[in-house]
Amino acid sequence: MSEWDTFTQIKSGKGMWLTDSKGNKMIDAVGSMWCNVWGHSNPELVNAIRSQSKKLQHSSMFNLTNEPAEKLAASLIRISPGMNRVFYSDNGSSAMEISIKIALQYWKNKGEKKTEIATVENGYHGDTFGAMSVGYVPEFFSKFKKQLFATIQFPVPNKYRVPKGFTFSDYQEHCLEKIEKRISEDNNIAAFVMESGAQVAGGVIIYPKGFQRKISQLCKKHGVLLVLDEIATGFGRMGSMVQYEEQKSIPDIVAYGKMLTGGYLTMAATLTSKKIYDSFLGEFNDWRHLFHGHTYTGNPIAAAVANKNIEMYQKNHLIKRIQKTAKTFEKHYMQISDMDIVGDIRHSGMLMGIELVSNKAKKTPIQSKKSINKIFFEEGKKNGIYLRTLGNIVMLVPPLAISEKDLDLLLKKTIETIQAARHHFV
Ligand SMILES: Cc1ncc(COP(=O)(O)O)c(C=O)c1O
Protein backbone atom coordinates (compact mmCIF):
# COMPACT_ATOMS: atom_id res chain seq x y z
CA MET A 1 0.00 0.00 0.00
CA SER A 2 2.88 2.40 0.52
CA GLU A 3 2.96 2.85 -3.28
CA TRP A 4 -0.40 4.61 -3.04
CA ASP A 5 0.65 7.75 -1.19
CA THR A 6 -2.08 9.79 -2.85
CA PHE A 7 -5.38 8.92 -4.46
CA THR A 8 -7.20 10.58 -7.29
CA GLN A 9 -10.42 12.01 -5.94
CA ILE A 10 -13.37 11.73 -8.31
CA LYS A 11 -15.71 14.71 -8.13
CA SER A 12 -18.26 13.93 -10.81
CA GLY A 13 -19.23 11.58 -13.59
CA LYS A 14 -21.08 12.18 -16.83
CA GLY A 15 -21.72 9.54 -19.46
CA MET A 16 -18.56 7.48 -19.91
CA TRP A 17 -16.34 10.09 -18.24
CA LEU A 18 -15.11 10.60 -14.68
CA THR A 19 -13.72 13.98 -13.61
CA ASP A 20 -11.29 14.35 -10.73
CA SER A 21 -10.83 17.19 -8.23
CA LYS A 22 -8.18 18.80 -10.48
CA GLY A 23 -10.48 18.77 -13.50
CA ASN A 24 -8.77 15.81 -15.28
CA LYS A 25 -11.14 13.61 -17.26
CA MET A 26 -10.85 9.83 -17.65
CA ILE A 27 -12.98 7.49 -19.73
CA ASP A 28 -14.28 4.73 -17.42
CA ALA A 29 -12.80 1.51 -18.88
CA VAL A 30 -13.48 -0.26 -15.58
CA GLY A 31 -17.23 0.48 -15.64
CA SER A 32 -16.74 1.61 -12.01
CA MET A 33 -15.83 -1.95 -10.99
CA TRP A 34 -17.74 -3.75 -13.76
CA CYS A 35 -21.19 -2.53 -12.74
CA ASN A 36 -21.99 0.60 -14.73
CA VAL A 37 -24.61 0.15 -17.44
CA TRP A 38 -25.76 3.55 -18.82
CA GLY A 39 -22.83 5.76 -17.92
CA HIS A 40 -22.73 8.25 -15.06
CA SER A 41 -25.46 10.76 -14.10
CA ASN A 42 -28.11 9.19 -16.31
CA PRO A 43 -31.19 11.39 -15.73
CA GLU A 44 -33.73 8.53 -15.77
CA LEU A 45 -31.83 6.56 -13.12
CA VAL A 46 -31.17 9.67 -11.04
CA ASN A 47 -34.89 10.51 -11.18
CA ALA A 48 -35.85 6.99 -10.09
CA ILE A 49 -33.64 7.45 -7.02
CA ARG A 50 -34.97 10.93 -6.37
CA SER A 51 -38.65 10.02 -6.57
CA GLN A 52 -38.37 6.84 -4.47
CA SER A 53 -36.29 8.66 -1.85
CA LYS A 54 -39.19 11.06 -1.30
CA LYS A 55 -41.57 8.17 -0.51
CA LEU A 56 -39.66 5.55 1.45
CA GLN A 57 -35.90 5.45 1.97
CA HIS A 58 -35.65 2.20 3.83
CA SER A 59 -37.86 -0.17 5.71
CA SER A 60 -36.93 -3.63 6.82
CA MET A 61 -37.50 -6.89 4.96
CA PHE A 62 -37.98 -8.53 8.37
CA ASN A 63 -41.74 -9.26 8.52
CA LEU A 64 -42.35 -6.65 5.78
CA THR A 65 -41.79 -6.08 2.10
CA ASN A 66 -41.97 -2.94 -0.05
CA GLU A 67 -43.40 -2.18 -3.47
CA PRO A 68 -40.17 -1.64 -5.47
CA ALA A 69 -38.64 -4.84 -4.04
CA GLU A 70 -41.75 -6.86 -4.92
CA LYS A 71 -41.83 -5.43 -8.44
CA LEU A 72 -38.14 -6.18 -8.91
CA ALA A 73 -38.55 -9.77 -7.71
CA ALA A 74 -41.29 -10.30 -10.31
CA SER A 75 -39.04 -8.89 -13.07
CA LEU A 76 -36.08 -11.01 -12.02
CA ILE A 77 -38.22 -14.15 -12.08
CA ARG A 78 -39.57 -13.15 -15.50
CA ILE A 79 -36.11 -12.85 -17.05
CA SER A 80 -34.62 -15.92 -15.32
CA PRO A 81 -35.86 -19.24 -16.74
CA GLY A 82 -36.44 -21.91 -14.11
CA MET A 83 -36.26 -19.48 -11.17
CA ASN A 84 -39.15 -18.97 -8.77
CA ARG A 85 -38.12 -16.93 -5.70
CA VAL A 86 -35.76 -14.07 -4.84
CA PHE A 87 -33.66 -13.44 -1.73
CA TYR A 88 -32.13 -9.95 -1.61
CA SER A 89 -28.81 -8.80 -0.23
CA ASP A 90 -26.62 -5.76 -0.66
CA ASN A 91 -23.54 -7.00 -2.54
CA GLY A 92 -22.31 -9.89 -4.66
CA SER A 93 -20.28 -11.58 -1.93
CA SER A 94 -23.34 -11.75 0.33
CA ALA A 95 -25.48 -13.06 -2.54
CA MET A 96 -22.96 -15.89 -2.90
CA GLU A 97 -22.83 -16.57 0.86
CA ILE A 98 -26.62 -16.87 0.73
CA SER A 99 -26.45 -19.17 -2.31
CA ILE A 100 -24.06 -21.48 -0.47
CA LYS A 101 -26.16 -21.50 2.70
CA ILE A 102 -29.34 -22.24 0.74
CA ALA A 103 -27.64 -25.07 -1.17
CA LEU A 104 -26.27 -26.69 2.01
CA GLN A 105 -29.49 -26.24 3.98
CA TYR A 106 -31.58 -27.64 1.11
CA TRP A 107 -30.05 -31.08 1.74
CA LYS A 108 -30.51 -30.75 5.51
CA ASN A 109 -34.16 -29.83 4.95
CA LYS A 110 -34.50 -32.92 2.78
CA GLY A 111 -32.89 -35.03 5.51
CA GLU A 112 -29.97 -36.00 3.27
CA LYS A 113 -26.30 -35.91 4.18
CA LYS A 114 -24.64 -33.89 1.44
CA THR A 115 -22.16 -31.39 2.76
CA GLU A 116 -19.35 -30.91 0.24
CA ILE A 117 -19.05 -28.15 -2.35
CA ALA A 118 -17.45 -28.63 -5.75
CA THR A 119 -15.99 -25.64 -7.60
CA VAL A 120 -13.59 -24.82 -10.39
CA GLU A 121 -10.05 -23.62 -9.80
CA ASN A 122 -9.38 -19.92 -10.12
CA GLY A 123 -13.02 -18.90 -9.66
CA TYR A 124 -13.97 -15.72 -7.82
CA HIS A 125 -17.17 -15.08 -5.89
CA GLY A 126 -16.25 -12.26 -3.51
CA ASP A 127 -14.10 -11.49 -0.49
CA THR A 128 -16.07 -12.83 2.47
CA PHE A 129 -15.10 -16.19 4.00
CA GLY A 130 -17.66 -18.43 2.29
CA ALA A 131 -17.13 -16.66 -1.02
CA MET A 132 -13.34 -16.96 -0.63
CA SER A 133 -13.68 -20.67 0.12
CA VAL A 134 -15.65 -21.46 -3.02
CA GLY A 135 -13.68 -19.10 -5.23
CA TYR A 136 -10.14 -19.65 -4.23
CA VAL A 137 -7.68 -17.39 -6.11
CA PRO A 138 -4.29 -18.05 -4.42
CA GLU A 139 -2.92 -14.52 -4.97
CA PHE A 140 -5.90 -12.98 -3.20
CA PHE A 141 -6.67 -15.44 -0.43
CA SER A 142 -3.63 -17.53 0.52
CA LYS A 143 -3.21 -15.61 3.81
CA PHE A 144 -6.57 -16.97 4.99
CA LYS A 145 -6.23 -20.48 3.61
CA LYS A 146 -6.31 -22.12 7.02
CA GLN A 147 -9.64 -20.53 7.91
CA LEU A 148 -11.40 -21.33 4.63
CA PHE A 149 -13.61 -24.41 4.34
CA ALA A 150 -12.43 -27.15 2.00
CA THR A 151 -13.94 -27.53 -1.46
CA ILE A 152 -13.37 -29.98 -4.28
CA GLN A 153 -11.75 -28.02 -7.11
CA PHE A 154 -11.59 -28.95 -10.76
CA PRO A 155 -9.42 -27.36 -13.47
CA VAL A 156 -10.91 -25.10 -16.14
CA PRO A 157 -9.71 -25.28 -19.74
CA ASN A 158 -7.88 -22.10 -20.77
CA LYS A 159 -7.10 -22.08 -24.49
CA TYR A 160 -3.99 -19.94 -24.01
CA ARG A 161 -2.42 -22.21 -21.39
CA VAL A 162 -3.14 -25.80 -22.32
CA PRO A 163 -0.97 -28.27 -20.33
CA LYS A 164 1.77 -30.07 -22.27
CA GLY A 165 0.68 -33.16 -24.18
CA PHE A 166 -2.94 -32.06 -24.71
CA THR A 167 -4.79 -30.38 -27.54
CA PHE A 168 -7.33 -27.84 -26.30
CA SER A 169 -10.23 -30.10 -27.10
CA ASP A 170 -8.56 -33.11 -25.41
CA TYR A 171 -7.93 -30.99 -22.34
CA GLN A 172 -11.54 -29.87 -22.20
CA GLU A 173 -12.62 -33.51 -22.34
CA HIS A 174 -10.07 -34.36 -19.66
CA CYS A 175 -11.46 -31.64 -17.33
CA LEU A 176 -15.03 -32.83 -17.84
CA GLU A 177 -14.05 -36.47 -17.30
CA LYS A 178 -12.45 -35.54 -13.97
CA ILE A 179 -15.66 -33.81 -12.90
CA GLU A 180 -17.82 -36.70 -14.05
CA LYS A 181 -15.71 -39.31 -12.29
CA ARG A 182 -15.78 -37.50 -8.96
CA ILE A 183 -19.40 -36.46 -8.90
CA SER A 184 -20.62 -39.84 -10.06
CA GLU A 185 -18.64 -41.60 -7.28
CA ASP A 186 -19.02 -39.11 -4.42
CA ASN A 187 -22.54 -39.02 -2.94
CA ASN A 188 -21.65 -36.28 -0.51
CA ILE A 189 -21.53 -33.36 -2.97
CA ALA A 190 -24.24 -30.82 -2.19
CA ALA A 191 -23.56 -28.27 -4.91
CA PHE A 192 -21.35 -27.28 -7.82
CA VAL A 193 -20.57 -23.56 -7.63
CA MET A 194 -19.17 -21.67 -10.63
CA GLU A 195 -19.24 -18.36 -12.43
CA SER A 196 -21.59 -18.43 -15.39
CA GLY A 197 -20.00 -18.10 -18.82
CA ALA A 198 -16.50 -17.05 -17.79
CA GLN A 199 -14.15 -16.51 -14.89
CA VAL A 200 -13.73 -12.77 -14.81
CA ALA A 201 -11.49 -11.92 -11.83
CA GLY A 202 -9.59 -15.14 -12.59
CA GLY A 203 -8.34 -13.47 -15.77
CA VAL A 204 -11.25 -13.49 -18.27
CA ILE A 205 -11.16 -17.23 -18.88
CA ILE A 206 -14.13 -17.75 -21.20
CA TYR A 207 -15.45 -21.31 -20.99
CA PRO A 208 -15.33 -23.27 -24.24
CA LYS A 209 -18.69 -23.96 -25.87
CA GLY A 210 -20.56 -26.75 -24.12
CA PHE A 211 -18.39 -26.79 -20.96
CA GLN A 212 -20.94 -25.24 -18.59
CA ARG A 213 -23.78 -27.10 -20.27
CA LYS A 214 -22.05 -30.43 -19.70
CA ILE A 215 -21.44 -29.60 -16.02
CA SER A 216 -25.12 -28.74 -15.63
CA GLN A 217 -26.09 -32.07 -17.21
CA LEU A 218 -23.73 -33.93 -14.87
CA CYS A 219 -25.17 -32.10 -11.86
CA LYS A 220 -28.72 -33.03 -12.87
CA LYS A 221 -27.76 -36.65 -13.50
CA HIS A 222 -25.99 -37.10 -10.18
CA GLY A 223 -28.24 -35.08 -7.86
CA VAL A 224 -25.87 -32.14 -7.31
CA LEU A 225 -27.30 -28.61 -7.12
CA LEU A 226 -25.90 -26.19 -9.68
CA VAL A 227 -25.18 -22.73 -8.24
CA LEU A 228 -24.30 -20.13 -10.87
CA ASP A 229 -22.74 -16.76 -10.22
CA GLU A 230 -23.92 -14.23 -12.83
CA ILE A 231 -22.78 -11.24 -10.79
CA ALA A 232 -20.10 -10.18 -13.27
CA THR A 233 -21.23 -12.02 -16.41
CA GLY A 234 -25.03 -11.68 -16.51
CA PHE A 235 -27.16 -8.62 -17.32
CA GLY A 236 -25.52 -8.22 -20.73
CA ARG A 237 -21.84 -8.15 -19.79
CA MET A 238 -21.13 -11.10 -22.09
CA GLY A 239 -23.81 -10.14 -24.61
CA SER A 240 -26.85 -11.94 -23.13
CA MET A 241 -29.26 -10.87 -20.44
CA VAL A 242 -28.97 -14.21 -18.69
CA GLN A 243 -25.71 -15.93 -19.42
CA TYR A 244 -26.92 -19.36 -18.25
CA GLU A 245 -29.57 -19.32 -20.95
CA GLU A 246 -26.87 -18.71 -23.56
CA GLN A 247 -24.90 -21.59 -22.01
CA LYS A 248 -28.00 -23.84 -22.06
CA SER A 249 -27.60 -24.67 -18.39
CA ILE A 250 -30.47 -24.08 -15.98
CA PRO A 251 -29.21 -23.69 -12.40
CA ASP A 252 -30.98 -24.46 -9.11
CA ILE A 253 -29.67 -21.23 -7.61
CA VAL A 254 -28.33 -18.11 -9.34
CA ALA A 255 -26.88 -14.84 -8.05
CA TYR A 256 -27.02 -11.38 -9.66
CA GLY A 257 -25.36 -8.16 -8.48
CA LYS A 258 -23.19 -5.41 -9.96
CA MET A 259 -25.29 -4.25 -12.98
CA LEU A 260 -28.63 -4.93 -11.28
CA THR A 261 -29.05 -1.27 -10.29
CA GLY A 262 -27.28 0.08 -13.37
CA GLY A 263 -24.24 0.48 -11.13
CA TYR A 264 -25.83 3.27 -9.02
CA LEU A 265 -26.67 1.66 -5.67
CA THR A 266 -25.62 -1.46 -3.88
CA MET A 267 -27.92 -4.46 -4.26
CA ALA A 268 -27.70 -8.15 -5.13
CA ALA A 269 -30.12 -11.04 -5.41
CA THR A 270 -30.06 -14.81 -5.03
CA LEU A 271 -32.77 -16.63 -7.00
CA THR A 272 -33.85 -20.22 -6.53
CA SER A 273 -36.06 -22.73 -8.29
CA LYS A 274 -39.39 -23.78 -6.78
CA LYS A 275 -37.90 -27.11 -5.72
CA ILE A 276 -35.35 -25.33 -3.54
CA TYR A 277 -37.83 -22.83 -2.11
CA ASP A 278 -40.36 -25.53 -1.25
CA SER A 279 -37.79 -27.38 0.85
CA PHE A 280 -37.69 -24.35 3.18
CA LEU A 281 -41.46 -24.45 3.84
CA GLY A 282 -42.76 -25.93 7.07
CA GLU A 283 -44.17 -25.07 10.47
CA PHE A 284 -42.06 -22.66 12.53
CA ASN A 285 -40.92 -25.43 14.86
CA ASP A 286 -39.72 -27.55 11.92
CA TRP A 287 -36.84 -25.02 11.68
CA ARG A 288 -36.61 -25.29 7.92
CA HIS A 289 -36.39 -21.56 7.29
CA LEU A 290 -33.18 -19.80 6.35
CA PHE A 291 -31.59 -17.77 9.10
CA HIS A 292 -30.13 -14.97 7.08
CA GLY A 293 -30.90 -11.29 6.80
CA HIS A 294 -29.09 -7.99 6.37
CA THR A 295 -30.16 -4.57 7.60
CA TYR A 296 -30.44 -3.04 4.13
CA THR A 297 -31.84 -6.11 2.38
CA GLY A 298 -34.41 -5.14 -0.28
CA ASN A 299 -33.73 -1.42 0.10
CA PRO A 300 -36.55 0.38 -1.74
CA ILE A 301 -34.36 3.07 -3.34
CA ALA A 302 -31.95 0.45 -4.69
CA ALA A 303 -34.91 -1.64 -5.88
CA ALA A 304 -36.52 1.40 -7.57
CA VAL A 305 -33.37 2.20 -9.51
CA ALA A 306 -33.01 -1.51 -10.43
CA ASN A 307 -36.59 -1.49 -11.74
CA LYS A 308 -35.88 1.58 -13.87
CA ASN A 309 -32.65 -0.03 -15.08
CA ILE A 310 -34.44 -3.21 -16.23
CA GLU A 311 -37.16 -1.13 -17.90
CA MET A 312 -34.43 0.77 -19.79
CA TYR A 313 -32.80 -2.49 -20.95
CA GLN A 314 -36.09 -3.39 -22.61
CA LYS A 315 -36.99 0.05 -23.92
CA ASN A 316 -33.55 0.61 -25.46
CA HIS A 317 -33.00 -2.98 -26.68
CA LEU A 318 -29.75 -2.91 -24.76
CA ILE A 319 -28.76 -6.53 -25.36
CA LYS A 320 -29.00 -6.12 -29.16
CA ARG A 321 -27.10 -2.86 -28.87
CA ILE A 322 -24.30 -4.52 -26.86
CA GLN A 323 -24.01 -7.28 -29.45
CA LYS A 324 -23.60 -4.68 -32.20
CA THR A 325 -21.28 -2.32 -30.32
CA ALA A 326 -19.10 -5.22 -29.13
CA LYS A 327 -17.93 -5.68 -32.75
CA THR A 328 -15.85 -2.53 -32.23
CA PHE A 329 -13.53 -4.64 -30.03
CA GLU A 330 -12.93 -6.97 -33.00
CA LYS A 331 -11.72 -4.09 -35.21
CA HIS A 332 -8.82 -3.61 -32.81
CA TYR A 333 -7.89 -7.29 -32.26
CA MET A 334 -5.05 -7.25 -34.78
CA GLN A 335 -3.43 -4.06 -33.55
CA ILE A 336 -3.59 -5.25 -29.94
CA SER A 337 -2.33 -8.76 -30.53
CA ASP A 338 0.51 -7.47 -32.75
CA MET A 339 2.07 -5.64 -29.78
CA ASP A 340 5.13 -7.47 -28.54
CA ILE A 341 3.93 -7.62 -24.91
CA VAL A 342 0.48 -8.97 -25.72
CA GLY A 343 0.22 -12.75 -25.39
CA ASP A 344 -3.52 -13.26 -25.68
CA ILE A 345 -6.79 -11.37 -25.97
CA ARG A 346 -10.03 -12.82 -24.67
CA HIS A 347 -13.27 -11.10 -25.46
CA SER A 348 -17.01 -11.58 -25.15
CA GLY A 349 -19.66 -8.83 -25.26
CA MET A 350 -18.46 -5.86 -23.18
CA LEU A 351 -15.64 -7.76 -21.54
CA MET A 352 -12.05 -8.02 -22.72
CA GLY A 353 -8.92 -9.29 -21.03
CA ILE A 354 -5.54 -8.52 -22.58
CA GLU A 355 -2.87 -10.83 -21.21
CA LEU A 356 0.58 -9.24 -21.14
CA VAL A 357 3.75 -11.31 -21.45
CA SER A 358 7.45 -10.54 -21.54
CA ASN A 359 8.12 -13.42 -23.96
CA LYS A 360 5.44 -14.32 -26.48
CA ALA A 361 6.88 -17.74 -27.32
CA LYS A 362 7.28 -18.78 -23.68
CA LYS A 363 4.11 -16.95 -22.56
CA THR A 364 5.96 -15.57 -19.54
CA PRO A 365 3.70 -13.15 -17.64
CA ILE A 366 5.12 -9.61 -17.35
CA GLN A 367 6.59 -8.85 -13.96
CA SER A 368 7.51 -5.72 -12.09
CA LYS A 369 8.67 -4.69 -8.61
CA LYS A 370 6.01 -1.98 -8.64
CA SER A 371 2.36 -3.04 -8.90
CA ILE A 372 1.41 -3.56 -12.54
CA ASN A 373 -2.02 -2.13 -11.74
CA LYS A 374 -0.42 1.10 -10.46
CA ILE A 375 1.74 1.45 -13.56
CA PHE A 376 -1.29 1.09 -15.81
CA PHE A 377 -3.43 3.34 -13.67
CA GLU A 378 -0.85 6.15 -13.87
CA GLU A 379 -0.11 5.76 -17.57
CA GLY A 380 -3.84 5.48 -18.26
CA LYS A 381 -4.63 8.61 -16.28
CA LYS A 382 -2.07 10.61 -18.30
CA ASN A 383 -3.87 9.33 -21.38
CA GLY A 384 -7.40 10.15 -20.14
CA ILE A 385 -8.47 6.60 -19.36
CA TYR A 386 -9.31 4.86 -16.06
CA LEU A 387 -7.69 1.42 -16.35
CA ARG A 388 -7.20 -1.43 -13.90
CA THR A 389 -5.27 -4.62 -14.36
CA LEU A 390 -5.63 -7.94 -12.58
CA GLY A 391 -2.09 -9.26 -12.34
CA ASN A 392 -0.74 -9.25 -15.90
CA ILE A 393 -4.17 -8.83 -17.48
CA VAL A 394 -5.54 -5.47 -18.62
CA MET A 395 -9.29 -5.56 -18.02
CA LEU A 396 -11.68 -3.68 -20.29
CA VAL A 397 -15.14 -3.67 -18.73
CA PRO A 398 -16.81 -0.44 -19.90
CA PRO A 399 -20.35 0.75 -19.20
CA LEU A 400 -22.62 -1.53 -21.23
CA ALA A 401 -24.35 1.23 -23.18
CA ILE A 402 -21.11 2.77 -24.43
CA SER A 403 -21.38 4.03 -28.02
CA GLU A 404 -19.23 2.64 -30.85
CA LYS A 405 -17.45 6.01 -31.02
CA ASP A 406 -16.59 6.04 -27.31
CA LEU A 407 -15.57 2.38 -27.34
CA ASP A 408 -13.32 3.05 -30.30
CA LEU A 409 -11.71 5.90 -28.37
CA LEU A 410 -11.37 3.71 -25.26
CA LEU A 411 -9.62 1.00 -27.27
CA LYS A 412 -7.26 3.50 -28.93
CA LYS A 413 -6.40 4.91 -25.51
CA THR A 414 -5.83 1.39 -24.17
CA ILE A 415 -3.41 0.62 -27.01
CA GLU A 416 -1.55 3.89 -26.42
CA THR A 417 -1.39 3.16 -22.69
CA ILE A 418 0.01 -0.35 -23.21
CA GLN A 419 2.61 1.14 -25.54
CA ALA A 420 3.48 3.84 -23.00
CA ALA A 421 3.73 1.31 -20.14
CA ARG A 422 5.75 -1.18 -22.17
CA HIS A 423 9.18 0.14 -21.12
CA HIS A 424 8.47 -0.89 -17.50
CA PHE A 425 8.52 -4.56 -18.50
CA VAL A 426 10.96 -5.07 -21.42
C1 LIG B 1 -18.23 -13.25 -10.25
C2 LIG B 1 -18.28 -12.41 -9.03
N3 LIG B 1 -18.97 -12.83 -7.97
C4 LIG B 1 -19.06 -12.10 -6.84
C5 LIG B 1 -18.41 -10.90 -6.74
C6 LIG B 1 -18.49 -10.11 -5.46
O7 LIG B 1 -19.31 -9.02 -5.59
P8 LIG B 1 -19.16 -7.76 -4.58
O9 LIG B 1 -17.88 -7.11 -4.91
O10 LIG B 1 -20.37 -6.93 -4.90
O11 LIG B 1 -19.21 -8.32 -3.20
C12 LIG B 1 -17.67 -10.42 -7.82
C13 LIG B 1 -16.97 -9.12 -7.72
O14 LIG B 1 -16.17 -8.75 -8.54
C15 LIG B 1 -17.58 -11.20 -8.98
O16 LIG B 1 -16.85 -10.80 -10.04
Domain CATH code at residue 277: 3.40.640.10
- pLDDT tens digits along 186-205: 999 999 999 999 999 999 99
Cα(124) to centroid(ligand 1), Å: 7
* Sign, CA torsion 179/180/185/186: positive
Banded pLDDT at 279 (limits 50, 70, 90): very high
CA dist 242 and 250 (Å) reads: 10
**Looking at the structure, do residues 288 and 367 belong to the same domain, yes or no?**
no
Banded pLDDT at 394 (limits 50, 70, 90): very high
**Looking at the structure, do residues 66 and 181 belong to the same domain, yes or no?**
yes
Cα(268) to centroid(ligand 1), Å: 10
Beta pairing class for 25-28 and 385-386: parallel
Q: Tell me what pLDDT residue 408 has.
A: 98
- pLDDT tens digits along 130-187: 999 999 778 888 899 999 999 999 999 999 999 999 999 999 999 999 999 999 999 9
Q: Tell me what pLDDT residue 118 has.
A: 98
* Sign, CA torsion 71/77/80/85: positive
Q: Does some domain include residue 1?
A: no
**Looking at the structure, do residues 164 and 294 belong to the same domain, yes or no?**
yes
Q: Does some domain include residue 172?
A: yes
**Ligand 1, pocket residues at CB < 6 Å:** 91-93, 96, 124-126, 195, 200-201, 229, 231-232, 257
Q: Does some domain include residue 192?
A: yes
Phi-psi category of residue 134: left, alpha or beta, with phi > 0 → left and psi -120 to 50 → alpha: alpha
**Looking at the structure, do residues 132 and 243 belong to the same domain, yes or no?**
yes
Q: Does some domain include residue 73?
A: yes
**Looking at the structure, do residues 151 and 270 belong to the same domain, yes or no?**
yes
**Looking at the structure, do residues 309 and 271 belong to the same domain, yes or no?**
yes
Q: Is the pLDDT of residue 389 over 80?
A: yes
- pLDDT tens digits along 35-74: 999 999 999 999 999 999 999 999 999 999 999 999 999 9
Atom of ligand 1 minimally distant from the CA of 126: 6
Atom of ligand 1 minimally distant from the CA of 230: 1
Q: Cα–Cα–Cα angle for 365, 371, 375, nearest 5°?
A: 95
Q: Bridge-partner residues for 20, per DSSP? A: 10
Pocket test of ligand 1: the residue of 34, 124, 244, 259 to mutate, having most ligand atoms within 8 Å of its CB, is: 124
- Boundary (domain end) residue, out of 288, 315, 342: 315
**Looking at the structure, do residues 230 and 366 belong to the same domain, yes or no?**
no
Q: How many C-beta neighbours within 10 Å does residue 425 have? A: 16
- Boundary (domain end) residue, out of 300, 315, 330: 315
**Looking at the structure, do residues 369 and 411 belong to the same domain, yes or no?**
yes
- Boundary (domain end) residue, out of 290, 315, 340: 315
Q: How many C-beta neighbours within 10 Å does residue 54 have? A: 7
Atom of ligand 1 minimally distant from the CA of 266: 10
CA dist 144 and 131 (Å) reads: 12
Parent domain of 155: 46-315
In the chain, how many domains are there?
2
Percentage of residues of the chain with pLDDT beyond 70: 100
**Looking at the structure, do residues 223 and 335 belong to the same domain, yes or no?**
no
In eight-state DSSP terms, residue 209 is T
Q: Is the pLDDT of residue 2 over 80?
A: yes
Q: Tell me what pLDDT residue 228 has.
A: 98
Q: Tell me what pLDDT residue 136 has.
A: 77
Q: Does some domain include residue 40?
A: no
Q: Residue 84's Cα: distance from chain center in Å?
A: 22
**Mean pLDDT value across residues 100-117:** 97
Q: Is the pLDDT of residue 426 over 80?
A: no
Q: Look over the chain and give the mean of its residue pLDDT values, rounded to a whole number.
A: 97
Banded pLDDT at 25 (limits 50, 70, 90): very high
- pLDDT tens digits along 325-384: 999 999 999 999 999 999 999 999 999 999 999 999 999 999 999 999 999 999 999 999
Atom 4, ligand 1: residue with shortest CA distance: 125
Domain CATH code at residue 353: 3.90.1150.10
Find the helix or strand (DSSP H, E) in which 89 lies: strand 85-89
Query: Can you spell out the DSSP letters for 283-305?
Result: -GGG--S-----TTTT-HHHHHH
Please state at what angle helix 404-421 crosses helix 318-325, rounded to 10 degrees: 40
**Looking at the structure, do residues 141 and 261 belong to the same domain, yes or no?**
yes
Buried b / exposed e along 246-274 (16+ C-beta atoms within 10 A): bbebbbbbbbbbbbbbbbbbbbbbbbbbe
- pLDDT tens digits along 246-268: 999 999 999 999 999 999 999 99
**Looking at the structure, do residues 386 and 415 belong to the same domain, yes or no?**
yes
Q: Does some domain include residue 343?
A: yes
Pocket test of ligand 1: the residue of 258, 294, 296, 393 to mutate, having most ligand atoms within 8 Å of its CB, is: 258
- pLDDT tens digits along 206-247: 999 999 999 999 999 999 999 999 999 999 999 999 999 999
**Looking at the structure, do residues 61 and 17 belong to the same domain, yes or no?**
no
Q: Is the pLDDT of residue 127 over 90?
A: yes
Q: Does some domain include residue 290?
A: yes
Q: Does some domain include residue 266?
A: yes
**In degrees rounded to 5, what are phi and psi of residue 35?**
-115, -15
